[in-house]
Amino acid sequence: MKKYIMALDAGTTSNRCILFDKNGNICSVSQREFTQMYPHSGWVEHDPYEIFNIMLGVARDAILKAGAQAEEIAAVGITNQRETTVVWDKNTAQPVYNAIVWQCRRTAEYCQRLEQWGWGEKIQKKTGLKLDAYFSATKIKWILDHVEGAREKAERGELLFGTIETWLIWKLTKGRIHITDYTNASRTMLYNIFECRWDQELLDLFQIPVSMLPEVKNSSEIYGCTAPEFFGSEIRIAGAAGDQQAALFGQQCFQPGMVKCTYGTGGFLLMNTGYKPEMSSNGLVTTIGWGIKNEITYALEGSVMIAGAVIQWLRDELHLIDSAADTEYLASKVKDTNGAYLVPAFVGLGAPYWNSYARGVFVGLSRGVNKSHMVRAALESMAFQANDVIQAMREDTGMDMNLIRIDGGAGSNNLLAQMQADFSNISVVRPACVETTALGAAYLAGLAAGFWDSLRDIQKHVQENRSFYPQMDQNIRKKKLDDWKKAVKCASYLTTL
Ligand SMILES: Nc1ncnc2c1ncn2[C@@H]1O[C@H](COP(=O)(O)OP(=O)(O)O)[C@@H](O)[C@H]1O
Ligand SMILES: O=P(O)(O)OC[C@H](O)CO
């Protein structure tokens, strides 16, 4: 009997595998971090082999922990850090270069030149995206331009491109399946999200042969099976989605207007906009929420480059805290930040500012600012950045937006959740299962595999953990939001020095 759905969640800093039962309960979890490489300032790379090996390891471990057999797993769903780019040789199965991570800014100057040549608007009209180094297209071009012999091989049809789910599926099927799903395709800056096809004009612009690209499939569909040698017998691979879209699905934001915010390494807010793509005039991007039975649900997204990563910085570089969880206690010891604001523009600023050259600033410091104030300012920076996106969504859609669903590692921080409610004047709801990304991937795979019958079937699982309501005086809110804007100006001003 099929008892489990297995979700593989390939995040930016760690891979995890979770086995879910029919009620959406977690039966086992295994997680491991992998190496982050920073070869130059602003560059970020991962080793694709390490990602695959760690994923295989945590998957086997989770199966073992649950006491499960591969035959009892109805299907596997894969979700992934998006945009991160792998190019490999299909004959040798060797990546020709490390994975270039979504955070990597190496192609920022090239993007700026394209913007000056007038490509920004055209690219947005086709892909829904902001012309930026964040997305895969310029990363692929960089590899073809800089790795010796890569372009010739690509032109001979010997190289393949994939985001992380494509790479994992290719490896798990021993090179039999080279696919992506609608959500991941929509993050490449090569996919026309309105006509649902790879865009030849953009492929020509970036000099990328179409033969490198994976076939685009539904986010919920049986693509094939894992090779038997990995888990003892074959398991169907039945779902794939970028992690932020998977979280939108896992949070059950099935109706237009529903919004989720994930506080992971970065912060990502997505609003379901239904079958209609909404174009933003306020710095958000239009993207694909999911594709099921070739029916596309669109989303409006604001991506914040540094969210939980600011807490890692406090821990690993400043040694102000021992663990991320300490921030809640430390920041609660003071009632405010004593006038301090931190803008963690470590890799520039994403939505809604899109400034690759901004850099972080700590402003408003006085002699009385202590460790607790600084930690509190770091937590506030996550809520302020998410609020900037919420305001942009309000302006773009004309909707009031009175409720947001939160998740992600930092989403467990109660003080942060309360700050979000206060700064955005919004109700914040946190579900009982905060592993919404993995849950979304499990739902997508489980629906395709018949483990669950319908959306109605999975809607029975929703369990709220806690809600947070706005309590801040509106004059204080206004003053704080005004001060934050000034701090952001300081971070942006650094680019002109
Ligand atoms: N209690 C907490 N308070 C604040 N930040 C936290 C807390 N727990 C984890 N984080 C932050 O959340 C991030 C990890 O979240 P996760 O969703 O696992 O990230 P990712 O999927 O991007 O790897 C880390 O950057 C960490 O600093
Ligand atoms: O791995 P996460 O959770 O930080 O998500 C990364 C995003 O998918 C980047 O677009």
Q: Could you read off the pLDDT of 139-179 as tens digits, one per residue?
A: 999 999 999 999 999 999 999 999 999 999 999 999 999 99
- Whole-prediction pTM: 0.94
- Taking CA atoms only, the protein residue closest to ligand 2 atom 6 is 81
Which ligand 1 atom is the nearest neighbour of the CA of 407?
Answer: 17
CA distance 408 to 435: 7
Which ligand 1 atom is the nearest neighbour of the CA of 309?
Answer: 25
Report the range of poorest mean pLDDT among 76-85, 362-371, 488-497. Answer: 488-497
Tell me the average pLDDT of the chain: 94
Which ligand 1 atom is the nearest neighbour of the CA of 312?
Answer: 27
- Residue 138 labelled as part of a binding site: no
* Residues having CB within 6 Å of any atom of ligand 2: 11-12, 81-83, 102, 242-244, 264-266, 303
**CB–CB of 147/97 below 8 Å?**
yes
25-68: pLDDT as tens digits: 999 999 999 999 999 988 999 999 999 999 999 999 999 999 99
Token code pair at residue 454: 């319908």
Check pLDDT > 80 for residue 496.
Answer: no
**CB–CB of 411/263 below 8 Å?**
yes
**Of 259, 245, 247, 243, whose CA–CA distance to 391 is shortest?**
259
* C-alpha distances in Å from residue 16, one per residue of 168, 248, 272: 13, 18, 26
Q: How would residue 433 be classed by pLDDT, with cut points 50, 70 and 90?
A: confident
Crossing angle of helices 414-424 and 474-493, rounded to 10°: 100
CATH class, domain 4-244, is alpha beta
Answer whether 36 contacts ligand 1 (Cβ < 6 A). no
| DSSP H or E run through 161 | strand 159-162
Instruction: Give the pLDDT score at 458.
Output: 87
Token code pair at residue 489: 């100006």
CA distance 2 to 187: 33
**CB–CB of 252/322 below 8 Å?**
no
**Of 443, 409, 76, whose CA–CA distance to 250 is shortest?**
443
Instruction: Give the pLDDT score at 494.
Output: 67
- Residue 134 labelled as part of a binding site: yes
Residues 6+ apart with CB under 8 A from 210: 198, 200, 203
94-123: pLDDT as tens digits: 999 999 999 898 999 999 999 999 999 999
Distance of CA 432 to the CA centre of its chain: 21
CA distance 237 to 222: 6
**Cα(305) to centroid of ligand 2, in Å?**
9
Phi, psi dihedral angles at 442 (to 5 degrees):
-65, -45
